Amino acid sequence: MKKKEKLVGSLIIFVVLIIFLTIGYFNTTKRNLTQKDMEDMFVEVNKSDAKQTSVDKSDKKEVNNTSSTNNKKVIVEIKGEVKKPDVYYLDEGSIVKDLIQQAGGLTEKADITPVNQAKKLVNNECIIINNKDQINANVVSKNINKEVSVSAGADESNSIININTASKEELDKIPGIGAVTAEKIIEYREKNSGFKNIEDIKKVDRIGDKMFEKIKDRISVN
């Protein structure tokens, strides 16, 4: 009887022990899983926050860049035949036509022909609109000066040269007489106390009858 009671008691203790071990095992496993799950969740949350922060920064940077681009200005000056010549601040990408409009438009005397109104403005440049009356006056002045210059040149080319007093440069202007021949003319007159008549120039080396015929109307001895 006592043996049987001991056996039953041992079985009960064994069963209770098994139950405690089983409960302890499941509790430990549950705790470990819960801790791991929490760590995974923490990592996921951090990743999500980091991703959102990156997106926010990217969006903010894009907005700032767009705002910066839209706000860029160029400083340009316009002078001459516009109604309000001055320095103006225009949006980057503006063209000459925009600047003219900003300056109140052109005056009646403006010469817009040489101006490229579609040209893109460059920072710190100056656009000048000329006066068409001034341009016409300059053209007339240039033509007059050209005519005077041609006339003076023609008079100079037809002038008579005194071969007894002319310098090397003056002798060189006689058609057919170069620098070398001019020097020989000067050498001859110094050695022979000048030319007595224009025919004496034929005594100078390199000047023959043909050359004399070409220059006789352009030279004198007094």
Residue 64 has pLDDT above 70, yes or no: no
Residue pair 127/103 in contact (Cβ under 8 Å)? The answer is: no
- Which whole number is the average pLDDT over 160-181? 90
According to DSSP, residue 93 is labeled T
Separation of alpha carbons 143 and 137, rounded Å:
10
- Which whole number is the average pLDDT over 53-72? 57
Backbone angles phi, psi at 208, to 5 degrees: -110, -165
Which of these ranges, 56-65, 89-98, 159-168, has the smallest mean pLDDT? 56-65
Query: 69-74 long-range contacts, Cβ below 8 Å, gap at least 24?
Result: 74/121, 74/122, 74/123, 74/124
pLDDT of residue 44: 56
Which of these ranges, 19-23, 82-86, 162-166, has the smallest mean pLDDT? 19-23
- Which whole number is the average pLDDT over 57-82? 72
- Which whole number is the average pLDDT over 9-29? 72
> Residue 52 burial by CB count (10 A; 0-12/13-18/19+): exposed, middle or buried?
exposed
Separation of alpha carbons 155 and 166, rounded Å:
17
- Which whole number is the average pLDDT over 40-44? 54
Percent of the chain with pLDDT over 70: 64
Would you say the pTM of this structure is higher than 0.75? no
pLDDT of residue 90: 96
